[in-house]
A = this chain, B = another copy of it.
């Protein structure tokens, strides 16, 4: 490890206030291998929650509600807000973040936005490092919130122990979500803005979509919230705790942690392979070949 890495590790182990932020930046810049290696054995204690849903559903307000609930129970919290910077993502991202401002001054709440492109494992790899570091730093609860659209809301389930899918009444988005295989990743459905006239219809749609699938083991719970007023947050927390109990009693927690590990290894390995591939593409002589033959020739040099 470099000198600055060793100093950072030392500060991290002393729980110096800025060490967590610095460690995440260090990892985000693609320099985290030795640091994560040294701290890995200290992780594995935190409850890792994933929170996803279409833009505008009120994820950040829900997140703020969960943070307040966890704090009221004396738990320390880390929040990783993932922003894939999709050109076509919707909503006022900054406005959303403001919901979390009330927690900015609480030293036991650590909030971090991720939009890294520099990490070898991509955004997913940077996010996984951040979660691992928050866990190793001693955060009791780590919430990964994806703002984005695309595949990131699927990847969150590879990282989290409990995945919350928030949906919004009267929004075509939510129907799209239900159609698009997101049923399979939800441990808890959250119908936010439950005072909306279409809220009951959305609940029926979730239930009828669920009936089309066969469930083994855990069947997703459905919780109605009004995150702005805090209504339903206690029920949501209880559902999260029931899911945690289920994971522990069945031993499925071991499988989930293993899956998260494999997922992170995959991201890192793919990042390195991609970097190696770029080199081979630059140097390879493929001018006279069709794309398939060229891919064969490039891979033969690996």
Q: Is A177 an interface position by the 8 A CB rule?
A: yes
| Nearest opposing residue in chain B for A292, CB measure | B33
Q: Which of A103-111, A219-227, A257-265 contacts B (4 or more CB under 8 A)?
A: A257-265
- Size of interface on A: residues with Cβ below 8 Å to B: 57
Contacts of A280 in B (CB 8 A): 269
The answer on a CB contact under 8 Å between B290 and A87 is no
**A286 interface residue (CB < 8 Å to B):** yes
Q: A149-B150, A281-B265 are known contacts. Are A86 and B180 too (CB-CB below 8 A)?
A: yes
Determine whether the beta carbon of A291 is less than 8 Å from that of B261: yes
Which B residues lie within 8 Å of A266 (CB)? 277-278, 281
Q: Which of B150, B153, B173, B292 contacts A268 (CB 8 A)?
A: B292
Contact status A153-B265, CB under 8 Å? no
Report whether B40 and A291 are in contact in the complex, using a CB–CB cutoff of 8 Å: yes
A residues adjacent to B (C-beta < 8 A)? 32-34, 36-37, 40-41, 54-55, 84-91, 128, 132, 149-151, 153-154, 172-173, 176-177, 179-182, 261-262, 264-266, 268-270, 272-274, 277-278, 280-281, 286, 290-295, 298-299, 302
Q: Of B41, B85, B272, B293, which contacts A295 at CB under 8 A? A: B272
Docked-complex contact A269 and B90, CB < 8 angstroms = no
Most buried by B among A36, A54, A154, A176: A176
- Asked if A37 contacts B292 (CB within 8 A), the reply is yes
Residues of B within 8 A of A172 (CB): 90-91
CB of A147, distance to nearest CB on chain B (Å) = 11
6 contacts between A and B (CB under 8 A): A37-B293, A41-B290, A88-B153, A90-B90, A90-B172, A270-B273
Q: Which of A86, A153, A265, A280 has most chain B Cβ within 10 Å?
A: A265
Q: Is there contact, CB below 8 Å, between B128 and A291?
A: yes
A151: B residues at CB distance < 8 A: 86, 150
For A264, the chain B residues whose CB sits under 8 A away are 291
Query: B298 touching A177 by the CB < 8 A rule?
Result: no
Which 5 pairs across A and B sit closest by C-beta, in order of nearness?
Answer: A87-B180, A150-B150, A40-B290, A268-B295, A88-B149
Given known contacts A150-B150, A277-B270, is B261 in contact with A181 (CB within 8 Å)? no
CB pair A89–B149 under 8 Å, yes or no, is yes
How far, in angstroms, from A278 to B266 measured CA to CA in the complex?
Answer: 8
Q: Is the CB of A176 within 8 A of B89?
A: yes
A287 vs chain B, min Cβ distance (A): 9
